[in-house]
Amino acid sequence: MARQRKLTKERKNLIDNLLAAYKPEDAKIVGLERQNSRFLYLKRMLLYVIISL
């Protein structure tokens, strides 16, 4: 169980690093700052699904 938690934490760190590398600059240009958190959430979920396959 502890090993599973560690893996989950490592996955989350990996996802956070990927998201940090991929900043939604285009969204800011269009003026969608208020929706950035939603975009980030959706991207995080998408990456999590891809990584967990």
* Number of domain units in the chain: 1
Q: Please tell me the distance from the alpha carbon of residue 5 to that of residue 30, in angstroms, as a whole number.
A: 39
Q: Which has the higher per-residue pLDDT, 26 or 9?
A: 9
What are the pLDDT digits (tens) for 19-53?
666 665 554 555 555 556 777 788 888 888 888 77
Higher pLDDT, 43 or 17: 43
Domain hosting residue 47, numbered range: 2-52
Query: What is residue 24's predicted lDDT score, i.e. its pLDDT?
Result: 59
> CA 36, CA 29: separation in Å to the nearest integer?
12
Considering only residues 1 and 41, tell me which one the structure prediction assigns the higher pLDDT.
41
